[in-house]
Chains A and B, each alone.
Chain A
Amino acid sequence: MFLLLDEKKTNTKRDTGQSMTIEVEKRVSTNKQELNKPFIQFKDFNFFYGAKQALFDVNLNIPEKKVTALIGPSGCGKSTLLRSVNRMNDLVDVATHTGDILVKEQSLFDPMLEVISLRKRIGMVFQKSNPFPKSIYENVIYSLRVAGCNKKSILDEAVETSLKASALWDEVKDRLHESALGLSGGQMQRLCIARAIANKPEILLMDEPCSALDPIATAKIEELIFELKNEFSIVIVTHNMQQAARVSDLTGFFLLGKLIEFGRTETLFTNPNEKETQDYITGRFG
């Protein structure tokens, strides 16, 4: 079933690839009321792991201070796309790309751009919570520490604001100097969110932040995302379509490395333009 669809899709895409993206762009531009101007802009972005192509001609405009969800089945390239934004893919030796990504109209691949300063502007939360083997306090202010900030008043304030923003403050305020590894799974993930926002980044990337959490912890994180979008532009990758529907303003659907459809979440979930999207969100495959 999946294979069949697969073949069909590649056939159709080959002819309509170009027109597709134009269509998508059109659709995006019609949603002007929520997209005052593109914040993160993917331009004909292709991505390769060695000889294997993971992303095909992605053109995508992500707006500021909105939650953008990227959905799709496993291996469709949504995580790769996310990790391209803070150039985490640099860690992969064999990774190459063509096309460009612009943040505030500045290319991420500009040779003059220092990747460290880039990552300071972009926070990231990973699928598996990865607190450092340090105290809760030190975990939160890690990005400030590596940036060279050692002033206690600033650090204290950053800890309090970020932990409050990530709804963890009340639970840990009495044990800030205990090891972060003693927290529960949900708390650890919220700690990672606090860590990601401590340095006041502009963009927050979330790579399936709830996939390892139980429903209650998930609900807390989702609530948090809702709160955080007032301050940050959030891009969230998720497997969970209900989650995308609940938290996001915009949703992009990926299949086999291609952006199939991108638009307002309500529209995409209730009245998708593409058959693949329809099939995926109704649970026919994926």
Chain B
Amino acid sequence: MNLTTIKNKQTSKTPSFNNVKAKGEPYVWLTAMGLGVGLLMVVLLLGVIAINGISVFWPKKLVEITLTEQSDMKINGSNKIAGHISKKQIRKNGKKEWQLYVGNKDVYGFSFKFVDKDKIVSVERPKNIMSIERLEYGDAIGVPLWLKVKNVGEFAAGTKEFDRRLKTLIKGSHQLWAHIKQIEKKEIGKINRQMQSLALKKKVIGSKKEFDLVEKDKLFALDNKIELLQRDYQILAQQAQDLRVKVNEHTLGYRLVTGEEKVLPIGHIIHTVYPNKLNVWQQTKLFFYDIWHFLADDPREANTEGGVFPAIFGTFVMTVLMSMAVTPFGVLAAIYLREYAKQGLFVRCVRISVNNLAGVPSIVFGVFGLGFFIYFVGGTLDQIFFKSSLPTPTFGTGGIFWASLTLALMTVPVVIVSTEEALAAVSQGSREGSLACGASKWQTIQRVILPASAPGILTGLILAMARGAGEVAPLMLVGVVKLAPSLPLDSVAPFVHLDRKFMHLGFHIYDLGFQSPDSEAAKPMVFATTFLLIVLVVLLNLAAIIIRERLRRRYATSAF
């Protein structure tokens, strides 16, 4: 055998470099597809919500449409329609149609109108058309005619004087409204609370069968006090009433494009704007003005107008309360499971049960919260501490405290699991090092293990918060309401009112989208609120992530 044959043999066995074709890795496509689909869904969902949610606030130009005389889409016999185009679509029969937001619900009885595109004669954008945001019936869209100022006179529209006067009058009415609110909510509210507590005292004394002289005196004094308060109340109520009259004494006249003329008291106007006169800068200003009022105002008109501040606040307070409840609870449980409990069958069973708890439908937690927290714990608390105010429940009814506890219960498995993982990731070396220094087990946990696992624990808390803040179903049973009269935190002692019912963004979305009488009108609010809820959850998470990153930098050994 000579050298060449040997060489040949070798080449036949080992693949030569020339013959090997580079192969791709096919599964990279499969796995990438999985990620791609997920990513696409997230981007689409967030995109739709963000675009729709934000565009709600961008001021829209108004159009005045003239229809053909034969059109059957006339309103009140007029062939003119004004409003902003909210949708352009093609019907099944191939005809193009536009959806217009026409406003003026008080006159027309509806606020949206479909028109066929081929019935449109002309589309104009008149400069003098005005959009008036009102306290009731949504927006009015029309051409302003005059302004009647009491004791001063009448001003015709179209002049600088008119616009200036209108602006100051609206500003004045806002101040008056704030004053009325101050009187009605703060001062009258204070008197009401005092009267309530006096009435309770009276009830306690009155429930006895016989009273002695001292008690009679007391009753008499109470009656006197109540009478005094009653008198104060009358004065304040009269003040409020006077203000209400005053706020409505000036009026604005305007004509709809369909011909009707209307008179609107200034006190009913929130804001007026000539949308077709706005330049981009003014539009931007208005855009942020709208966003601010959406965030900071109370809702109006069955929540379909106005802002969502109470819902934001309720969601925030509930999430914070939930985190405060779930963190110690979950972390302590995880510490016991991982550090103290003897690992065995029982602990494994507990661990599996905890994991399964995460899969229980949230409404079940709601039912449990209602049955256990509200009826049992709350009812018992009422029996013991608030007996005098029964049968009106104090804690025996849904409230932010019970809602937070219910959600805490729901999210505790998340915290336990992630805390356990974080604890397990702390190296044996650190534990031994601490014990060898003469630390007790608890000192080791407290000084070495917990700080090192804090980032992992926070990860669990982030997940819990994200789940808790977005949950709606259980809340409907344990304290969320469509409209809460007061916030769970305010300036009235004891400042934190854990027994109060509250509003929640998630429930607000459900309520607007599916429970409101005019779901088309509520649609922008649904998008805006959804977007806001997402932003709120992202912000809460972001805060937690920033804290976690700081901790991570401090405790760089942690495996997370």
Which of B79-87, B94-102, B397-405, B444-452 lies on the face that meets chain A?
B444-452
Is the pair B448, A128 in contact by a Cβ cutoff of 8 Å?
no
Complex Cα gap A116–B442 (Å): 12
The reply to whether the CB of B429 lies closer than 8 angstroms to some CB of chain A is: yes
Q: B443 is contacted by which of A88, A124, A146, A179 (Cβ under 8 Å)?
A: A146
With contacts A133-B451, A145-B447 taken as known, whether A124 is within 8 angstroms of B436 at the C-beta atoms is: yes
With contacts A130-B433, A132-B430, A132-B448 taken as known, whether A146 is within 8 angstroms of B557 at the C-beta atoms is: no
Q: Which residues of A contact B440 (CB under 8 A)?
A: 116, 146
Q: Which residues of B contact A123 (CB under 8 A)?
A: 436-437
Complex Cα gap A199–B435 (Å): 13
Q: A147 is contacted by which of B438, B447, B555 (Cβ under 8 Å)?
A: B438
Within 8 A of A (CB), among B389-446: 427, 429-440, 443
Complex Cα gap A254–B53 (Å): 75
Is the pair B438, A119 in contact by a Cβ cutoff of 8 Å?
yes
A285 shortest CB reach to chain B, Å: 30
Complex Cα gap A116–B439 (Å): 7
The reply to whether the CB of B558 lies closer than 8 angstroms to some CB of chain A is: yes
The reply to whether the CB of B39 lies closer than 8 angstroms to some CB of chain A is: no
Is the pair B435, A132 in contact by a Cβ cutoff of 8 Å?
no
Is the pair B433, A91 in contact by a Cβ cutoff of 8 Å?
no
The reply to whether the CB of B51 lies closer than 8 angstroms to some CB of chain A is: no
Is the pair B558, A130 in contact by a Cβ cutoff of 8 Å?
no
Q: Which residues of B contact A56 (CB under 8 A)?
A: none
With contacts A119-B437, A142-B434 taken as known, whether A132 is within 8 angstroms of B429 at the C-beta atoms is: no
Is the pair B432, A133 in contact by a Cβ cutoff of 8 Å?
no
Is the pair A88, B434 in contact by a Cβ cutoff of 8 Å?
no
Q: Which residues of B contact A122 (CB under 8 A)?
A: 436
Is the pair A126, B438 in contact by a Cβ cutoff of 8 Å?
no
Complex Cα gap A119–B430 (Å): 15
Q: Which residues of A contact B439 (CB under 8 A)?
A: 116, 142-143, 146
The reply to whether the CB of A181 lies closer than 8 angstroms to some CB of chain B is: yes
Complex Cα gap A284–B556 (Å): 43
The reply to whether the CB of B88 lies closer than 8 angstroms to some CB of chain A is: no
Chain B, residue nearest A129 (CB): B429
Q: Which residues of A contact B452 (CB under 8 A)?
A: 132-133
With contacts A119-B437, A199-B438 taken as known, whether A88 is within 8 angstroms of B432 at the C-beta atoms is: yes
> Chain A 43-69 against B: per-residue CB contact (8 Å), 1 yes, 0 no?
000000000000000000000000000
With contacts A88-B432, A181-B557 taken as known, whether A130 is within 8 angstroms of B437 at the C-beta atoms is: no
Complex Cα gap A197–B448 (Å): 19
Complex Cα gap A116–B431 (Å): 14
Within 8 A of B (CB), among A85-117: 86, 88, 91, 93, 116-117
Is the pair B437, A199 in contact by a Cβ cutoff of 8 Å?
yes
Is the pair A143, B555 in contact by a Cβ cutoff of 8 Å?
no
With contacts A133-B451, A133-B556, A181-B557 taken as known, whether A91 is within 8 angstroms of B434 at the C-beta atoms is: no
Is the pair B438, A143 in contact by a Cβ cutoff of 8 Å?
yes
Chain A, residue nearest B429 (CB): A130
Count contacts on A: residues with CB < 8 A to the other chain.
29
Complex Cα gap A132–B453 (Å): 12
Is the pair A116, B438 in contact by a Cβ cutoff of 8 Å?
yes
A186 shortest CB reach to chain B, Å: 17
How many pairs of residues, A versus B, come closer than 8 Å at their CB atoms? Answer: 78
The reply to whether the CB of A195 lies closer than 8 angstroms to some CB of chain B is: yes
The reply to whether the CB of B554 lies closer than 8 angstroms to some CB of chain A is: yes
Q: Which residues of A contact B557 (CB under 8 A)?
A: 133, 181
The reply to whether the CB of A78 lies closer than 8 angstroms to some CB of chain B is: no
Q: Which residues of B contact A258 (CB under 8 A)?
A: none
Within 8 A of B (CB), among A178-219: 179, 181, 192, 195-196, 199
Complex Cα gap A199–B434 (Å): 13
The reply to whether the CB of A120 lies closer than 8 angstroms to some CB of chain B is: yes
Chain A, residue nearest B427 (CB): A130
Q: Which residues of B contact A131 (CB under 8 A)?
A: 433
Chain A, residue nearest B446 (CB): A146
Complex Cα gap A93–B447 (Å): 23
Q: Which residues of A contact B342 (CB under 8 A)?
A: 93
Within 8 A of A (CB), among B540-560: 554-558
Is the pair A130, B435 in contact by a Cβ cutoff of 8 Å?
no
Complex Cα gap A128–B429 (Å): 7
Q: Which residues of B contact A143 (CB under 8 A)?
A: 437-439
Q: A117 is contacted by which of B430, B433, B438, B555 (Cβ under 8 Å)?
A: B438
Is the pair A91, B432 in contact by a Cβ cutoff of 8 Å?
yes
Is the pair A120, B556 in contact by a Cβ cutoff of 8 Å?
no
Q: Which residues of A contact B438 (CB under 8 A)?
A: 116-117, 119-120, 143, 146-147, 199
Is the pair A133, B558 in contact by a Cβ cutoff of 8 Å?
yes
Best-buried of A86, A143, A146 by chain B (most CB within 10 Å): A146
Q: B447 is contacted by which of A116, A130, A142 (Cβ under 8 Å)?
A: A142
Complex Cα gap A123–B438 (Å): 9
Is the pair B433, A192 in contact by a Cβ cutoff of 8 Å?
yes
Q: Which residues of A contact B430 (CB under 8 A)?
A: 130, 132-133
Q: Which residues of A contact B434 (CB under 8 A)?
A: 132, 142, 146
Is the pair A119, B435 in contact by a Cβ cutoff of 8 Å?
yes
Complex Cα gap A146–B437 (Å): 8
Q: Which residues of A contact B555 (CB under 8 A)?
A: 133, 181
Chain A, residue nearest B343 (CB): A93
Q: Which residues of B contact A116 (CB under 8 A)?
A: 438-440
Is the pair B436, A196 in contact by a Cβ cutoff of 8 Å?
yes
Q: A88 is contacted by which of B435, B448, B558 (Cβ under 8 Å)?
A: B435
Q: A126 is contacted by which of B433, B451, B554, B558 (Cβ under 8 Å)?
A: B433
Is the pair B433, A132 in contact by a Cβ cutoff of 8 Å?
yes
Q: B554 is contacted by which of A86, A119, A133, A195 (Cβ under 8 Å)?
A: A133
A34 shortest CB reach to chain B, Å: 27
Q: B437 is contacted by which of A91, A181, A196 (Cβ under 8 Å)?
A: A196
Q: Which residues of B contact A181 (CB under 8 A)?
A: 555-557
Best-buried of A119, A120, A196, A199 by chain B (most CB within 10 Å): A119
Complex Cα gap A133–B430 (Å): 9
A92 shortest CB reach to chain B, Å: 11
Best-buried of B431, B436, B556 by chain A (most CB within 10 Å): B436
7 residue pairs of the A-B complex, CB under 8 angstroms, read A93-B342, A120-B437, A120-B438, A130-B427, A146-B437, A196-B436, A199-B438
Q: A86-B436, A133-B557 are in contact. List 10 more A-B contacts (CB 8 A).
A: A116-B438, A123-B436, A126-B429, A128-B429, A130-B430, A142-B447, A143-B438, A146-B440, A179-B556, A195-B437
Q: Sorted from nearest, which 6 A-B pairs have the closest CB atoms?
A: A120-B438, A133-B555, A130-B429, A143-B437, A124-B436, A130-B433
